[in-house]
Amino acid sequence: ALLTEMTAAYPGEHWLHAELARTRYEAGDREAAHAYLREQLAGGKWKGYEAESFRGTRAQWLENEGRFPELVQFLAEWVERNPESETAYAQHLSALVRTGAEEKAFALMREWIGDAAKVPADGELTVAQQARFRAAVAAAAGQGHQLYADRVDVRWHAPLAE
């Protein structure tokens, strides 16, 4: 009750909202915690790091609960926002593989690696392009999010060499 009162009194304090969601989650009211984060994100008041923090927390919870189809959808929406951190991209690739959509993950990896290869020598990748490239290369190298092979799959030798 105190956290609820505090979030009402200090609506702009991200950490209070994050703590309220976490407290609900850890108390076993997981659906209420998910709903609270969805509500916070839907409002559009949180930008940058704060919104990314809420998204990262929700993705981690969905993954921990084994709710992979829902996680894939959530991460697809997050990736559409062009985040500058590789977290969403790496988790998205992993969730696709875990739900049997390996070919879709491979297609995204090819796309993201290819996009980086198309940048002219005097050009620069955007921060989001760099993040997608890092996530794709890590996955190709067997170092993806929660998917470790510790070897580069033969299919990735040529794309990575470019």
Long-range contact pairs involving 101-104 (C-beta distance under 8 Å, separation at least 24): 101/72
Assign 117 a pLDDT band (cuts: 50, 70, 90): confident
Residue 93's pLDDT is 96
| Residue whose token pair is 């990736």 | 79
pLDDT attached to residue 1 = 80
Q: Which two tokens stand for residue 93?
A: 């690739």
Per-residue DSSP letter, 155:
G
pLDDT in tens, 55-93: 999 999 999 999 999 999 999 999 999 999 999 999 999
